[in-house]
Amino acid sequence: MKNAQAKDRYTYRVTWSPEDEEYAGVCIEFPSLSWLAESPEAALAGIRRVVADSVQEMEQNGEPIPDALAEKHYSGEFRVRIPAEVHRALAIKAAEEGISMNRLVSAKLTAQ
């Protein structure tokens, strides 16, 4: 991630900020940074400049540079702690549907 194009691989978002009455550009990998502007395009351009400047400064100081989310490897596994009664209800529902609990929970997480 230590090159001039690294900023282009980060996850940027632009949203309207009612409090500021401007568009706010943010970068998910750099949660402390933001940029306000009158247009979405200017907010995006601004946050990209701020991130590029931050990456350059971090490189000069020998600090670790955050990896872009899009470039991270995800295993497809994570653990979730739930109350025992919810676990039981999910196990029963999965059994009733004739599918694994993993498949049931995956379907529920991806349903929109």
Whose structure tokens read 């701020």? 50
With cut-offs at 50, 70 and 90, classify the pLDDT of residue 111.
confident
Res 5 pLDDT > 60 = no
For residue 62 the two structure tokens come to: 């020998």
Compute the distance between CA of residue 105 and CA of residue 95 in angstroms, rounded to an integer: 12
Q: State the average pLDDT over residues 73-92.
A: 93
pTM of the model: 0.69
Which of left, alpha, beta for 50 (phi over 0: left; psi -120 to 50: alpha)?
Answer: alpha
Q: State the average pLDDT over residues 9-23.
A: 97
pLDDT at residue 2 in the model: 47
Res 93 pLDDT > 70 = yes
Name the DSSP class of 70.
Answer: G
Q: State the average pLDDT over residues 12-20.
A: 97
Count of beta carbons in the 10 Å neighbourhood of residue 96: 9
